[in-house]
Amino acid sequence: MSRHRIYKPMLALAANDAFTDKDWIYEIKWDGFRAIAYVEQPFSLRSRNGKELKQNFPELQQITGLATDVVVDGEIVVMAEGAPDFQALLKRGQAVSVGEITRQSQRSPAIYIVFDILEKDGKPLVDLPLMERKAILKDSLKEGANVLLCDYIEEKGEAYFKLVLEKGLEGVVAKRKDSCYEEGMRTGSWLKIKKLKTADCIIFGYTCGENVRAETFGALVLGLYDEAQKPVYVGKVGTGFTQEMLRILVDKFEKITTEEAPFRAESGDKVTWLKPRLVCEVAYQVVTKDGKLRMARFKRLRDDKPPEQCTLDQLTQIQPKTETPVEAQNPKQLQPADAKLSEYASKRNFQETPEPAGTAENKETLIYVIQEHHASHLHWDLRLESGGVLKSWAVPKGIPEEPKVRHLAVETEDHPYEYASFEGTIPKGQYGAGTVKIWDKGHYKTKVWEPNKIEVTLEGERLHGNYVLVRLKKSEDNKNWLLLKGKDGHG
């Protein structure tokens, strides 16, 4: 097999605010290392500056068993308490010895979240529209414990952005549905929208510290490159450092000091200049008229980003032109965690239906509910809580109460946790119009939960004992299951 050509990652421009537009999709902005995976022999996983990462993340070699002869783009993250932990990821990237890498991969396993495909079977796909690439990606890559497809939601950018921030994530990436993959470019077809404006700046020097900072430094002197690759001063940052980060920076500074000043320092500042080797991410409020970052705060070092890519166009905040009117969105419409409820939300107008939109967190043991649903056809909805949402099946003939009875159960979209207590009438013209009432509810215990078989023990007001769901054909695309009562009765 011939080697794939090396691709440069497409970049996103910064935008001021979230927006709603049917021609765009929205993904979570993951706080990690951008990486392009070359799934071939030999396997390669390259950072945005071309560094080979596969040695530091051996668990991501799993992707070679999930896809064949593709090039995909994504983000490497380490999760902690339900959110990306960039500091843990940095430690993973800095480990050198095989023993330390092995220990860290077990202690802080990485996940590769894939959001684009650039090549398949030796054929470049970069000129195809984004939604075509998304479809090819879904058909070409299976998910695994350490490799996931990045979910997205269409149109509802404002509501999604609000929910993403509520979850403690840093923002979203908006992408035009018809956008080609423009290598190494920042054209505005992809936009990053964050709660705080941030910029990746080069550390060109530091000022002297005083009092408690006398042994380290006062502030970092920051710069960016203009179109001619000349350094331009954009201000200083003196807050946001932990004691550990102060020590790390001082150690790094000792090796890269220089007598050459890239630009003139501010009046009164005594600056120790540094070679342009280090990149840091800085949060700020606005860019002043003279091009300086106002109220800057240090966020993190960016070991994964080369200084050459730190350019002034980061500070050009843009907003896309849209002919679609901005609608009033209910901020509870979407659940940002893996976009599990995106299908549920897309089918409902929460200004019309009394159904819950879904924001609550599950803090109980596992629950289930069975709802009698008088829609166009009477059926019963079985819902099992899993991962904070209700996994759902429509059962036309009702829940079997004898071991030999088997009923068809059609898998439907995930529902929000609050739906377990929902009773009411969904108005005409809305999805699932009709009356919903609770037929049974309670708690359950899991015996088996596999892609093609689920076995649980129900303890409810009406039902007790073991129930089994078996997928009719062993394919996750198949939504038809059989529901039966287990032989052991009360378990």
Each residue of 410-421: pLDDT tens digit? 999 989 888 999
CATH number where 293 lies: 2.40.50.140
My answer on whether 282 and 362 are in the same domain is: no
Which residues neighbour 81 within 8 Å (Cβ) at sequence distance 6 or greater?
none
What local confidence, expressed as pLDDT, does residue 90 receive?
85
pLDDT at 33 over 80: yes
pLDDT band for position 324 (cuts 50, 70, 90): very low
Q: CB within 8 A of 179, min separation 6: which ones?
A: 129, 130, 189, 190
Q: 184 with 202, same domain?
A: no
Is it the case that residue 327 has pLDDT exceeding 70?
no
Identify the CA nearest to 409 among candidates 453, 355, 356, 365.
Answer: 453
Q: How many CB atoms lie within 10 A of CB 72?
A: 26
The answer to whether residue 332 is domain-embedded is: no
Pick from 258-272, 287-301, 475-489 the range whose average pLDDT is largest. Answer: 258-272
Q: Is residue 333 part of a domain?
A: no
pLDDT at 473: 81
Q: What is the pLDDT of residue 353?
A: 79
> What would the pLDDT profile of 59-87 be if each residue is shown by its tens digit?
999 999 999 999 999 999 998 877 788 87
Phi, psi of 212 (to 5 degrees): -70, -15
> What residues are paired with 218 via a beta bridge?
none
- Strand, coil or helix: what is 376? coil
Domain boundary among 169, 188, 207: 188
Within a domain: 193: no
**CATH code for the domain in which residue 94 is found:** 3.30.470.30
Domain encompassing residue 208: 198-315
Under the banding of pLDDT at 50, 70 and 90, the label for residue 343 is: low
Mean pLDDT of the chain: 87
164 and 58 share a domain? yes
Which pLDDT does position 323 carry in this prediction?
A: 34
In a shared domain, residues 116 and 208: no
* Residue 319 pLDDT > 90: no
Provide the number of structural domains found in the chain.
3
Q: Is the pTM of this model over 0.75?
A: no
Q: Are residues 68 and 203 in the same domain?
A: no
Residues 6+ apart with CB under 8 A from 10: 73, 116, 181, 182, 183, 184, 185, 190
176 to each of 27, 224, 345, 458, 477, how far by Cα in Å? Answer: 11, 28, 21, 45, 27
| Domain co-membership, 23 together with 169 | yes
pLDDT of res. 346: 63
User: Tokens 């003279």 appear where?
Assistant: 290
Strand partners for 176: 24
Which pLDDT score, from 0 to 100, does residue 12 have? 92
Answer whether residue 267 is part of any domain.
yes
**Does 258 lie in the same domain as 174?**
no
Among 118-127, 319-328, 334-343, the range with the most confident prediction by mean pLDDT is: 118-127
- 91 and 144, same domain (yes or no): yes
Q: Is 490's pLDDT higher than 60?
A: no
Answer yes or no: is 302 within a domain.
yes
Asked which of 162, 188, 214 is the last residue of a domain, the reply is 188
pLDDT band at 342 (very low <50, low <70, confident <90, very high): low
Give yes or no: residues 263 and 166 share one domain: no
What local confidence, expressed as pLDDT, does residue 2 receive?
40
Output DSSP code: residue 107. H
Q: In the listed set 135, 157, 188, which residue is the last one of a domain according to the structure? A: 188
pLDDT of 329 > 50? The answer is no
Q: Are residues 375 and 467 in the same domain?
A: yes
| Residues 260, 131 share a domain | no
Q: Residues near 454 by Cβ (< 8 Å), separated by ≥ 6?
A: 384, 446, 448, 468, 469
Which residues, in sequence order, are bridge partners of residue 72?
37, 117
- Looking at the structure, tell me whether residues 42 and 87 fall in a common domain: yes
Q: Is residue 163 one of the residues assigned to a domain?
A: yes
Residue 367 confidence (pLDDT): 92
489 band by pLDDT with thresholds 50, 70 and 90: very low
List the one residue out of 24, 18, 36, 286 whose CA is nearest residue 160. 18
Any domain includes 224: yes
pLDDT tens for 424-480 read: 999 888 888 999 999 999 999 999 998 899 999 999 999 999 999 999 987 666 889
Token readout for 469 is 């769901």
Q: What pLDDT was estimated at residue 475?
A: 65
In a domain, 326, yes or no: no
